[in-house]
Amino acid sequence: MTSPKQMSLITSQAPTHRPADDVVRLLLFNAQHASPERSRRQAEWIADQEEADIAVLTEMSSSHDALLTALTDGGYDAVIATQPDGADYRTVIACRTADARPVDTPVTVTPHRAPAARVTIDGPGGYTVGILGLYVPSRGPKDQRNVAKRAFQNAVTQALPKLRRTFPDMPVIVAGDLNVLERGHQPPHKVFGEWEYAFYDSFRAVGLTDAFRHLHPDTTAHSWYGRSGNGFRFDHLFVSTPHTGQVLACDYHQGPRQAGLTDHAVMTLRLDVSAPGRQSEASPSHAS
């Protein structure tokens, strides 16, 4: 559900880069509950990325809005962010185009971690995509180990089949830090249980394809590294399966992590929308 505390911040400042009209350009960025000063540096970096007309931001602090303000100052005309009732992290969807509209999220548990939006690409005739951002809780303290994580994952699993009603007749992109791994992850990590691998599997079960794995079936990639140096592919981008043929690129970028802007790699996605009639031809059911 969309909270009454949801914000849509508008600015008149021109964007650093003009939004593309023939491709969806999306960036996934973990904000790592940054301080106000680092939030401004994060926003400056994001605003300078030509491949980021849509930015999905995870692990956003609820205690300040420095990053949101800096993003609008940097040309992101629409910023969709739901303020949680208490102290918790949230997920934000920011767009360079003002034609980004929040919709009721189908995720009923901590919905501020799962905002949803319809974004129209300003090309000939317009082209609308559905975006669902996700930030899955970590394991939590010992006395509440995996309680919040299981509850949120169960809510997302129940919500995924509803995406067809939430985003009728349009491609769907699900982007987020899932805090789980795919089966066969290298290196293997014994701490993850069957219920966590099943959560990853639930996306494919409803017609969503791992865009990175679709383009790079045999590539080992990591988006976060533990203290021991072992890598984990926690951050993911899924695209509705009928539209995977439109995926031009999906990659991880370690530069922001290595520069200390975040502790996660950044992901980018390019989805082709240039062909006339592409949306009407590519709109078969993507969820059961």
Count of alpha carbons within 13 angstroms of residue 87, beta-carbon side: 2
The DSSP code for 68 is H
Total Cβ atoms within 10 A of residue 184 = 7
pLDDT digits over 92-134, tens only? 999 997 689 999 999 999 999 999 999 998 876 689 999 999 9
The domain ranges of the chain are 6-281
10-24, 126-140, 216-230, 242-256: segment of lowest average pLDDT = 10-24
Q: How far is CA 151 from the centre of its chain?
A: 19
CATH fold of 6-281, please?
Deoxyribonuclease I; Chain A (3.60.10)
- Predicted pLDDT at 7: 41
What would the mean pLDDT of 205-210 be, rounded to a whole number? 96
Q: What residues pair up with 103 in beta bridges, in sequence order?
A: 116
Whether the pLDDT of residue 11 is over 50: the answer is no
d(CA 156, CA 261) in angstroms, rounded, equals 29
Most confident of 82-86, 189-193, 232-236: 232-236
Q: Tell me the C-alpha to C-alpha distance, in Å, between residue 233 and each of 23, 73, 219, 242, 286.
A: 26, 32, 11, 24, 24
Most confident of 177-181, 235-239, 259-263: 235-239
Whether the pLDDT of residue 223 is over 90: the answer is no
| Residue 237 phi, psi (nearest 5) | -130, 120
Q: Which tokens belong to 248? A: 């031009």
d(CA 8, CA 226) in angstroms, rounded, equals 35
- Predicted pLDDT at 141: 60
Question: Distance between the two ends of the chain, CA-based, in angstroms?
Answer: 21
Q: Which tokens belong to 266? A: 């950044």
Q: Which tokens belong to 28? A: 């996934």
pLDDT digits over 40-49, tens only? 899 999 999 9
Whether the pLDDT of residue 168 is over 50: the answer is yes
- Predicted pLDDT at 262: 94
pLDDT digits over 240-253, tens only? 999 999 999 999 99
